Chains A and B, each alone.
Chain A
Amino acid sequence: MPRKLPETDVVLVGFGWTAAILAQELTQAGLRVLALERGGWRDTPTHFPPTVAPDELRFYWRKEMFQDNARETLTFRNNTGQMALPMRRWGSFLPGEGVGGAGVHWNGQTYRFLPSDFEAASHNVKRYGPLADGLTVQDYGVTYDELEPHFDRFEKLCGIGGVAGNLNGDIQASGNRFEGWRSSNYPNPPMEMTFAQHRFAEAAQALGHRPYPAPSANMSRPYVNPLGVQLGPCSYCGFCEKYGCGNYSKASPQTTILPVLMQHPNFTLKTHNEVLHITRDSTGRRATGVVHVDLEGETYEQPAQIVILCAYQLHNTRLMMLSGIGEIYDPRTGEGLLGKNYCYQVVSSVDVFYEDKFTNQFAGAGALGMMIDEFNGDNFDHAGLGFIGGGYIACWTTNARPIETHRTPEGTPEWGSAWKKAVAENFLKSTSISTHGASMAHAANHLDLDPTYKDVHGRPLMRMTYDFTANDRAMTAHLTEQARRIGERMGGREIRVKPRQGPYDSMPYQTTHNTGGTIMGSNPANSVVNRYLQSWEVPNLFVMGAGVFPQNAGYNPTGTVAALTYWAAEAIKTRYLRDPGPLVRI
């Protein structure tokens, strides 16, 4: 029998980016907020100071930054004809654990989804006719225009460095002309570019594209955010993704919100407490709180007026399933919404090798790059191409960690002295172009509960059923070809094209951009949450995170996840508190 604790106004499940934003917003509105985080406390000087932050073995290869998958993982299969097996070691994606969540080990690439991304179904149908068979793409139910002020807040919170491409409708030459209008420029200038970005920009320009500096949450200069929190200038050490930043230079909950939030007397954080399920009253229409368990196995019932799921997309979806809120999607019938429209992204690359030019790729940053948007979203005519959606093409200089990064030319053996020689010859003289494309929702790709495997608490693991679709494959082939054309013009000795082919493989790292499962939409028949991220079924339950994306976009998701969080926070503060109940009535 769980021990019953005193009630709080709001309980937040998980304590990463979305929870930190909500906690700050809702404590300021006068609410008592409690966050429950299953991992431990983490801060810069204690857990990843510069003396230990760049420890590749510890943080990446031994997975210290990530969720402990000896306690809970998920099972994976490409299609329903296969038996799903547990992911015993993280590979393709890296969910976080502990205070700050994956917001501690992200790269810092911070975008606003394109206006058309939010209307992917209606926009594409209008321009190209009916969607291909099996695609279950739909609109978000919220528009770019509505989210603009919230994107703006997050960029200022984080001190994003970049160049505006569309300032209140005025197209700016050196920014991204395809971006949605922005009410103000980025708070910081872009990062300093290196040799590789200059070559990429010249080559892209020669092909008629308009390269622009990637928006970066790695600080291009010292920054004080609107909460008064300070971020230090980036030292270009290149240990961003998969690592915590030791220099306070990468925006994270720790470096933007926590110094202020932790001072609020109406905020409480409990670490090492994992939420097991959401409790509801007898009508099932009202959440009464959550049940959580501590490291000693002691369980607690935490009553709350409002429950908000702020864990990673996979966990929010699973928690809804384990709590029995909503019907789990069944691909055979198409019935059920929970777990539907699981999406990912499709990445490929083109390596460029120079004979006598040094790229010095060890000096970089997670979001140090030049990129083009000509092949993203619906920025180009898809007529006759056989797919919708797209992605960006970028030249990043980061990630040249010695154990992880050894680009070798085509034909190099996989091991042995010839491999070593090739690594030594090319380490300082190579770079890579990445393509980063949207995965479109498909009826066959979904999440549900595994019938066989259980977590440490004896509950079913999440089961992921996912493969790249025909749309994804056509899209990535198109993007990879564009990247090849740029790579060939970058003045290198040779290039090596690394297309994404074959079935989705859950082991090599691709992106931690898992989306869907608790999708948002216009009505209870097509979505789990409404346009304010409020559960249709249980109005005092809200679900944050990329799980609400009906399908993924070409960009990295953090900016949009954060904007949706601010948007939901505003709805809670200004409307829900006055009149608790459904914010959208059908």
Chain B
Amino acid sequence: MRGFGITSVILAAATVAASPATLAQDTSFAQLERGRYGVITGNCQACHTARGEEPFAGARPMETPFGVIYTPNITFERETGLGQWTREDFWQAMHNGRSRDGSQLYPAFPYPHFTRMPREEVDAIYDYLSTLPQVKKEKPENDLPFPLNIRLAVKGWNMLFFDPGPFEPDPGKSEAWNRGAYLVHGPGHCAGCHSEKNLLGADKESGDLRGGRLEHWSAPNIRGGENGGLADWSHEDIVEFLQTGRNRHSAAFSSMAEVIAYSTQHMCEKDLQAIALYLKSLDDEPRDQPDAPDEAVMTAGQSIYADNCSACHTSDGSGVPRFFAPLAGSGKVRNPDATTVIRVILEGARSVPTNARPTPLSMPAFGWKLDDSQIAAVATYIRNSWDNASGAISAGDVEALRQQLAE
């Protein structure tokens, strides 16, 4: 027994000595801190952690319109993680979307955004990841239909949509603006959710941030200039939202909750200021004015609202800022794509608990309590009351989303 123990120790030592993981790592404090911060800006932990399991060990299912993709283990465990990856391997993945064996990675891994990160930043992330506790965890097989299960198909995708290369600062803009643009379009990969995708899952117009849809959520338009989705948000509102998960307009839940929990609340305020500065510089086209909804639907919606919603959101839709989201003026409520607003009524939602605001204030589900036409009526009411004018929702819209969510 004792002999066996000694042998294993020797074996383990030999393994470590021969491991490529020991190649060329810079483990100075400054380098690891840079890498740790890089991991925060890229929100790596959210996707590379299965719910309730070891951080960075992957195996989280990512639902894409094309099928389910599981995230890989990015701890440096030798068999199932990045233990055998060199810095160059890692750079190729981050910069070109190529795996260690040369195969193409699916763009659910946001390399079209990470490609904007400079080599030194990517190396620092590599060095930092190498210091995390190693977890042995196999990645489940992706569940993708033919021909998407052939990684070669991604090659064609790349030819059409992928524009590799680090971020190029705009010399006409301030340093802060450029930092903001870099964070938004590079590591932050905001467009991943907040830009519309084409039929092949690429951002329609590279990173326009005019809102998108992912995993049955509609992510709002986050352009902050004139006519933008965040036109009513001040610079400070954006910073507060990213820092605490709440501001006077809104509270974060679902995917954005993860972004704030793992990423933005840990970012330094200067970077959040830079993001705010950049977003506030993005103007947008005026929106089309949708037709006013049917009076009878609005009347029904108002009654349903009074009985079910007004206790928290208040009768004038002003809510209780930072506690219960205001609906008047809400970007989520006014989003032309009503997926999120219908879904929140169906399933409820939970405000992200953050260090600054630890309370997971939640809205209950109404899917069991209200039928499709009632939900359509109340959604129509909140989308077209106070100063909101965002068009009607039909019972069919609600029914369709119910079915999609049930699948």
Binding site for B on A (CB under 8 A): 44-45, 49-52, 222, 227-230, 232-233, 235, 237, 246-248, 255, 259-260, 263
- Beyond A45-B350, A50-B312, A237-B311, is A232–B324 a contact (Cβ under 8 Å)? yes
| A to B CB contacts below 8 Å, 17 in the list | A44-B362, A45-B348, A45-B362, A49-B364, A50-B311, A51-B308, A222-B323, A228-B357, A232-B312, A232-B361, A233-B323, A235-B311, A237-B311, A246-B364, A248-B323, A255-B359, A259-B353
Which chain A residues lie closer than 8 Å to B322 at the CB level?
A: 222, 230
A-B residue pairs, 9 tightest by C-beta:
A49-B364, A45-B362, A235-B311, A230-B359, A259-B358, A51-B364, A259-B359, A232-B323, A229-B359
Pair B369/A51 contact, Cβ less than 8 Å: yes
Which chain B residues lie closer than 8 Å to A45 at the CB level?
A: 348, 350, 360, 362-364
Pair B348/A49 contact, Cβ less than 8 Å: yes
- The CA-CA distance from A237 to B312 in the complex, in Å, is 12
Residues 212-260 (chain B) with a chain A CB within 8 angstroms = none
Residues 320-365 (chain B) with a chain A CB within 8 angstroms = 320, 322-324, 348, 350, 353, 356-365
| Interface assignment of B366: CB less than 8 Å from any CB of chain A | yes
B55 to chain A: closest CB distance in Å?
14
A246 to chain B: closest CB distance in Å?
7
Which chain B residues lie closer than 8 Å to A228 at the CB level?
A: 356-359
Pair B311/A247 contact, Cβ less than 8 Å: yes
Which chain B residues lie closer than 8 Å to A233 at the CB level?
A: 320, 323
- Beyond A50-B311, A50-B364, A237-B311, is A230–B369 a contact (Cβ under 8 Å)? no
- The CA-CA distance from A246 to B320 in the complex, in Å, is 15
B33 to chain A: closest CB distance in Å?
22
- The CA-CA distance from A237 to B356 in the complex, in Å, is 30
- The CA-CA distance from A230 to B365 in the complex, in Å, is 21
Which chain B residues lie closer than 8 Å to A237 at the CB level?
A: 311
Closest to B359 in A: A230
Pair B320/A222 contact, Cβ less than 8 Å: yes
Pair B366/A51 contact, Cβ less than 8 Å: yes
- The CA-CA distance from A51 to B324 in the complex, in Å, is 15
Pair A232/B320 contact, Cβ less than 8 Å: yes
Among B312, B320, B359, find the residue whose CB has the most chain A CB atoms closer than 10 A.
B359
B135 to chain A: closest CB distance in Å?
18
B221 to chain A: closest CB distance in Å?
28
Pair A230/B312 contact, Cβ less than 8 Å: no
Pair B358/A229 contact, Cβ less than 8 Å: yes
Which chain A residues lie closer than 8 Å to B362 at the CB level?
A: 44-45, 49
- The CA-CA distance from A248 to B311 in the complex, in Å, is 11
Pair B360/A259 contact, Cβ less than 8 Å: yes
- The CA-CA distance from A448 to B5 in the complex, in Å, is 58
Which chain B residues lie closer than 8 Å to A235 at the CB level?
A: 311-312
- The CA-CA distance from A263 to B357 in the complex, in Å, is 13
B16 to chain A: closest CB distance in Å?
29
Closest to A227 in B: B358
Among A52, A230, A232, A233, find the residue whose CB has the most chain B CB atoms closer than 10 A.
A230
Which chain B residues lie closer than 8 Å to A260 at the CB level?
A: 358
Closest to B311 in A: A235
Closest to A228 in B: B358
Among A247, A255, A263, find the residue whose CB has the most chain B CB atoms closer than 10 A.
A247
- The CA-CA distance from A222 to B357 in the complex, in Å, is 13
Which chain A residues lie closer than 8 Å to B365 at the CB level?
A: 49, 51
Which chain B residues lie closer than 8 Å to A222 at the CB level?
A: 320, 322-323
Which chain A residues lie closer than 8 Å to B357 at the CB level?
A: 228, 230
Closest to A254 in B: B359
Which chain A residues lie closer than 8 Å to B348 at the CB level?
A: 45, 49
B123 to chain A: closest CB distance in Å?
31
Pair A230/B361 contact, Cβ less than 8 Å: yes
Which chain A residues lie closer than 8 Å to B359 at the CB level?
A: 228-230, 248, 255, 259
- The CA-CA distance from A222 to B314 in the complex, in Å, is 13
- The CA-CA distance from A64 to B324 in the complex, in Å, is 28
Given contacts A45-B363, A263-B358, 6 further A-B contacts (CB under 8 A): A45-B348, A50-B364, A51-B366, A228-B357, A232-B320, A255-B359
A159 to chain B: closest CB distance in Å?
12
Which chain A residues lie closer than 8 Å to B311 at the CB level?
A: 50, 235, 237, 247
Which chain B residues lie closer than 8 Å to A232 at the CB level?
A: 312, 320, 323-324, 361
- The CA-CA distance from A51 to B368 in the complex, in Å, is 10
Which chain A residues lie closer than 8 Å to B308 at the CB level?
A: 51
- The CA-CA distance from A238 to B365 in the complex, in Å, is 22
- The CA-CA distance from A517 to B380 in the complex, in Å, is 59
Pair B364/A248 contact, Cβ less than 8 Å: no
- The CA-CA distance from A193 to B353 in the complex, in Å, is 33
- The CA-CA distance from A45 to B362 in the complex, in Å, is 6
Which chain B residues lie closer than 8 Å to A263 at the CB level?
A: 358
Among A44, A51, A255, find the residue whose CB has the most chain B CB atoms closer than 10 A.
A51
A368 to chain B: closest CB distance in Å?
16
Which chain B residues lie closer than 8 Å to A51 at the CB level?
A: 308, 364-366, 369
- The CA-CA distance from A428 to B359 in the complex, in Å, is 37
- The CA-CA distance from A49 to B309 in the complex, in Å, is 12
B246 to chain A: closest CB distance in Å?
9
Closest to B355 in A: A228
A117 to chain B: closest CB distance in Å?
34
- The CA-CA distance from A453 to B360 in the complex, in Å, is 44
A85 to chain B: closest CB distance in Å?
41
B322 to chain A: closest CB distance in Å?
7
Which chain A residues lie closer than 8 Å to B324 at the CB level?
A: 232
Pair B312/A247 contact, Cβ less than 8 Å: yes
- The CA-CA distance from A50 to B353 in the complex, in Å, is 20
Closest to B348 in A: A45
B308 to chain A: closest CB distance in Å?
8
Residues 292-334 (chain B) with a chain A CB within 8 angstroms = 308, 311-312, 320, 322-324
A50 to chain B: closest CB distance in Å?
6
A520 to chain B: closest CB distance in Å?
34
B378 to chain A: closest CB distance in Å?
13
Which chain B residues lie closer than 8 Å to A50 at the CB level?
A: 311-312, 364
- The CA-CA distance from A49 to B349 in the complex, in Å, is 12
- The CA-CA distance from A246 to B356 in the complex, in Å, is 23
Which chain A residues lie closer than 8 Å to B361 at the CB level?
A: 230, 232, 248
Which chain A residues lie closer than 8 Å to B364 at the CB level?
A: 45, 49-52, 246
A268 to chain B: closest CB distance in Å?
16
Which chain A residues lie closer than 8 Å to B369 at the CB level?
A: 51
Which chain A residues lie closer than 8 Å to B350 at the CB level?
A: 45
Closest to A45 in B: B362
Closest to B321 in A: A222
Which chain A residues lie closer than 8 Å to B360 at the CB level?
A: 45, 259
A210 to chain B: closest CB distance in Å?
33
Which chain A residues lie closer than 8 Å to B323 at the CB level?
A: 222, 230, 232-233, 248
Which chain B residues lie closer than 8 Å to A227 at the CB level?
A: 358
A235 to chain B: closest CB distance in Å?
4
- The CA-CA distance from A181 to B348 in the complex, in Å, is 45
B398 to chain A: closest CB distance in Å?
17
- The CA-CA distance from A235 to B306 in the complex, in Å, is 12
B376 to chain A: closest CB distance in Å?
18
Closest to A53 in B: B364
- The CA-CA distance from A230 to B362 in the complex, in Å, is 12
Among B311, B348, B369, find the residue whose CB has the most chain A CB atoms closer than 10 A.
B311
- The CA-CA distance from A247 to B324 in the complex, in Å, is 10
Among B323, B365, B369, find the residue whose CB has the most chain A CB atoms closer than 10 A.
B323
- The CA-CA distance from A227 to B359 in the complex, in Å, is 10
Which chain A residues lie closer than 8 Å to B358 at the CB level?
A: 227-229, 259-260, 263
Among A50, A52, A255, A263, find the residue whose CB has the most chain B CB atoms closer than 10 A.
A50
Closest to B351 in A: A230
A146 to chain B: closest CB distance in Å?
31
- The CA-CA distance from A267 to B359 in the complex, in Å, is 18
A375 to chain B: closest CB distance in Å?
36
Among A44, A45, A52, find the residue whose CB has the most chain B CB atoms closer than 10 A.
A45
- The CA-CA distance from A232 to B362 in the complex, in Å, is 11
- The CA-CA distance from A227 to B356 in the complex, in Å, is 10
- The CA-CA distance from A345 to B192 in the complex, in Å, is 62
- The CA-CA distance from A260 to B357 in the complex, in Å, is 10
